[in-house]
């Protein structure tokens, strides 16, 4: 009996060893398989080049951005055309150098762009257009033929408009406008001369027997020195006033800061700034 029991025990132990051995084998195989799987997962990452990784990151970022909500669009403001007419007098061709002619035509282009994007666009006229100004438009700014809401007129302004409606903007005038009158026609001298020709626009208004006035710059801001304003700056000030009905805001938004003396207090006298260039 003892021999039989001993055999049973030995058989049981052998069976247990086999079972344990099989389990260990399964566990070992499982670990090996997991290791292999991990290596398979890591291998593509290791094989990616720097450019491929960057591309993958960009793709992920794009996917995240695509799923996010786009920012709300700003409501489009429909322009309300003004009845005001603004004339740029181009009768000073012979007084400018070629470089100044080039600068003037660039300023005229900026006037057109400002009017096109304005909330209160005006009726814009270029009178006495000819000579080197017209030649430069024909050769360097040929797209001007597609400009809208601007009229190129070879005739002088006296042949185009009623004299009683004309106001020449010049700092040499004794009168100062407080607001723009939609029944009036405002003239800006189309001249770039670094202030060589003193009082030329005022004298022209006197010769043509038309009204003159200056912008109320000195009532709202102070300029660092007696410096001229570019043609497009004067034009943009008119456009901004029509939008804001606020001279100070229009001046500060348009006049370059280098020309402003922001440290001084405002005065009530009229600043002798020349608004024609």
Positions marked catalytic: 193
Question: What does residue 211 show for φ and ψ, rounded to 5 degrees?
Answer: -70, 155
- Residue 114 CA to residue 253 CA, distance in Å, equals 13
Residue pair 240/119 in contact (Cβ under 8 Å)? The answer is no
DSSP of 95-118: GS-HHHHHHHHHHHHHHHHHHHT-
């Amino acid at each position: 009996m003892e021999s039989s029991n001993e055999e049973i025990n030995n058989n049981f132990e052998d069976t247990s060893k086999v079972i344990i051995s099989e389990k260990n084998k399964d566990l070992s195989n499982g670990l090996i398989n997991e290791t292999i799987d991990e290596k398979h997962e890591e291998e593509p990452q290791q094989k990616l080049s720097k450019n491929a990784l960057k591309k993958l990151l960009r793709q992920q970022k794009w996917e995240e951005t695509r799923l996010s909500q786009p920012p709300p669009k700003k409501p489009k403001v429909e322009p309300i055309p003004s009845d005001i007419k603004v004339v740029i007098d181009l009768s000073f061709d012979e007084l400018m150098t070629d470089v100044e002619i080039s600068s003037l035509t660039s300023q005229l282009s900026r006037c057109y762009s400002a009017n096109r994007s304005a909330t209160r666009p005006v009726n814009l006229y270029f009178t006495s257009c000819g000579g080197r100004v017209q030649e430069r438009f024909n050769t360097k700014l040929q797209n001007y033929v597609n400009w809208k809401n601007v009229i190129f007129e070879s005739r002088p302004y006296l042949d185009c408009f009623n004299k009683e409606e004309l106001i020449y903007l010049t700092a040499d005038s004794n009168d100062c406008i407080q607001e723009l009158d939609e029944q009036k026609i405002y003239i800006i001298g189309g001249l770039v001369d670094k202030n060589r020709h003193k009082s030329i626009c005022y004298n022209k208004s006197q010769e043509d027997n038309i009204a003159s006035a200056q912008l109320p710059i000195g009532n709202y801001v102070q300029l660092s020195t007696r410096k001229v304003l570019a043609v497009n700056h004067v034009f943009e000030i008119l456009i901004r006033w029509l939008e804001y009905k606020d001279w100070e805001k229009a001046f500060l938004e348009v006049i370059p800061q280098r020309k402003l003396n922001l440290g001084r207090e405002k005065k009530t006298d009229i600043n002798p700034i020349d608004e024609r260039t």
